[in-house]
Amino acid sequence: MTLFKSLALPTLFAVALFSATPASAHKVIASAFAEGDLIEGEIGFSNGEMATNQAVEVFAEDGRKLGDTHTDEEGFFTFQPTEQIVHIFRANLGAGHVAEYRMEIDELPDGLAGGQAPASTGAKTVSAPATAVISGSVAPDALKELVAEAVRREVKPLRREIAAYKEKNNLQSILGGIGYIIGIFGLAAYLAARRRQKQSGIAGQAAE
């Protein structure tokens, strides 16, 4: 009975910690990066679950609202910046979860250098397709965009897998720590019981 009481407290503590683990382990993740003249980002949780069809608000550093966007079926969103200022992306995921990402000025698309989008000329617009048609090959700029798009498609699912893998390992570490704590308390209770039993035996022999 004494051994049971000794183990009851650490066991209940471990169960309570385990019960709270899923809620605390699923951290909100948010990121954004420049892609061409757009800002592309993603919102979700560290277990790999993405925030789909989620409204995203965009604010300036002074609190002024710059616009709205939303995530797609895969948790990704795009936003067209028009000012060379800090962009703060915020999404209320419910249950107390708020995703927020701050994008600094030096992270913005290159097209916003100097505070204005690059002006396109008629010569550039005509020359690129003409080169592709005459040479029968893909223009360098078009090829660069194709490669970038292919890389984005490959990297998106990889980021989710990495986040899920990290969370799984963190959960395993927590469970391992719980088992270690229970083991220590169990060993201590066992040694204490053996010591009391030995002392009782010595006392009995002395009484005889």
For 2-28, letters b (16+ CB in 10 Å) and e give: eeeebbeebbeebeeeeeeeeeeebeb
**Reported pTM:** 0.51
Q: Mean pLDDT for the chain?
A: 73
Q: Indicate the number of domains in the chain.
A: 2
Burial class (CB in 10 A: 0-12, 13-18, 19+), 187: exposed
Residue 66 lies in a domain: yes
Q: What is the pLDDT of residues 74-101, one digit of tens each?
A: 899 999 999 999 999 999 998 889 999 9
Convert the pLDDT of each residue in 111-153 to its tens digit: 774 544 443 334 333 444 444 444 455 677 777 667 766 666 6
Q: Which of 86, 109, 132 is the last residue of a domain?
A: 109
**Domain carrying residue 87:** 25-109
